[in-house]
Amino acid sequence: MRIAWVTPDYPPDRGGVSDHSSEMVSVLRAVGHEVLVIARPQKRPFALLNAELDAFAPELIVVAYVPLGYAPHTGGVSPAFALWCVGLRLRRHCRTIMLAHEASLPAAYLWRNRELKLAALGAAQVVQFCILAACFDTIFFSNTGTKEIWAEGLPRLANRFHSIRICSNIPYHSSVEPKAELTAAGFSIPSSTILFFGTGHQSVLFDYVEAAFLALLEREPLAVLVVIGMTPEKLRQLRPSLADLGARVVVLGYVAAPQISLWLQVAKLVLAPLVEGVSARKGTVMAALQHGQAVVTTRGLHTRTDIAWDQICLLAPLERDTFAAKAVEAFKDSELRSTIGRAARAEYEAHASASVTASRILGCAAPRNDIEPVGGP
């Protein structure tokens, strides 16, 4: 099958970390599908994109949608992108699928909190997505809660809406001695590594991370918090008290994906407190599950029962001291961490791996009841 894959960021310019699309594209190519990746179409006239599609003649078009990817300077509202999507199915005469990783800002919530500028932007994003939703045969949401909200708001299009588990954006880097590889790359490996993906996103509860780490230091004074995805300057700006812990906190900035995989393999624990709760949309959590890591995270609005989170994560309510206590509990119990890690890896491979996700996409292009995961189980 000839598949055109349109994405705003492939691979992203973030220290070698690939996006979720790249893993699925690799799987599809490995089993014989011809995949044309059209990256960053927003950086050039969309007429050039049309010319590429004319020459390729795809049988399926997959569009990865993250609002800020297509319009970073206008808050995610991209008239040119929306206009290109209008009539896409009719122009191309093929199946079209959108992977909606993020749909829109919560306009009503922002309005209630009197954040009027963001509320107006959220309303514009909602209007844009209403237009986009009508342009595709299938919309895959990476969060079940988001799918349900949109199905309620657009009941006439609800039959097009489905949820899909996004795969990890950190490919597993197989290593016999991950510590030795990291050491050879110039890193110093702590005896007890607590890993935290500090992207600086507003959903991350930095005070929870600090509370948990301070509690862990009381238990293990040699523990080190390793922060990936954030510069020391950014950490000091967002959480100066955490930065002031000195050598106990190592901030690596942006790291190549194979090295992130190695850090995931050597870590004793991963901290991921999220204000809206853990969900399948969190790529860093997906990466930890893929690597069989015990993740201490939070239950919140977006934590749905379609995934047994309490069996594959160490789940705490949105209460800082309870989160810290959960982290200490996991740190003390190696058997608990191993049990959670094995369950996490098994669940990820069964439901969120690149092969499973790619198969779901192909299933919408040519529905069959006997489709097996692409590339094997």
Q: What is the pLDDT of residues 140-181, one digit of tens each?
A: 998 888 888 899 999 999 999 998 887 787 889 999 999 999
Do 6 and 143 belong to one domain? yes
Residue from 274, 307, 271, 267 nearest 179 by CA: 267
Q: Looking at residue 374, what is its pLDDT?
A: 53
For 272, the token pair is 């991921």
Q: Looking at residue 168, what is its pLDDT?
A: 82
Query: Is residue 37 one of the residues assigned to a domain?
Result: yes
H-helix or E-strand containing 210?
helix 206-219
> Which residues have C-beta within 8 Å of that of residue 188, sequence separation ≥ 6?
250
Query: pLDDT higher for 326 or 122?
Result: 326
Query: Is residue 376 one of the residues assigned to a domain?
Result: no
Do 73 and 187 belong to one domain? no
* Residue 306, CA distances (Å) to 165, 166, 167, 181, 202 in order: 11, 14, 16, 38, 25
**In which order are the strands placed within the sheet that holds 249-253?**
249-253, 223-228, 192-197, 269-272, 295-298, 314-316
Percent of the chain with pLDDT over 90: 58
Q: Looking at residue 11, what is its pLDDT?
A: 52
Residues 266-293, mean pLDDT to the nearest whole number:
91
Taking the C-alpha atoms of residue 199 and residue 118, their distance in angstroms, rounded to an integer, is 21
Do 146 and 157 belong to one domain? yes
Do 347 and 359 belong to one domain? no
The burial class, CB within 10 Å (0-12 / 13-18 / 19+), for 44 is exposed
Q: What is the pLDDT of residues 250-274, one digit of tens each?
A: 999 988 889 999 999 999 999 999 9
Confidence of residue 201 (pLDDT cuts 50, 70, 90): low
Give the CATH number, domain containing residue 83: 3.40.50.2000
Query: pLDDT higher for 143 or 243?
Result: 243
Query: pLDDT higher for 195 or 366?
Result: 195
Domain housing 331 = 178-351
Kindly state the DSSP code that residue 274 receives in the 8-state scheme.
Answer: B
Q: What is the pTM of this model?
A: 0.81
Residues 303-331, mean pLDDT to the nearest whole number:
94
Q: Of 7-21, 172-186, 212-226, which gets the smallest average pLDDT?
A: 7-21
> Which residues have C-beta within 8 Å of that of residue 149, sequence separation ≥ 6?
none
Query: pLDDT higher for 112 or 240?
Result: 240
Q: What is the pLDDT of residues 47-79, one digit of tens each?
A: 889 999 999 999 999 999 988 788 877 878 889
Confidence of residue 14 (pLDDT cuts 50, 70, 90): very low
- Statement: residue 15 has pLDDT above 50: no
Do 195 and 96 belong to one domain? no
Do 214 and 86 belong to one domain? no
- Statement: residue 42 has pLDDT above 90: no
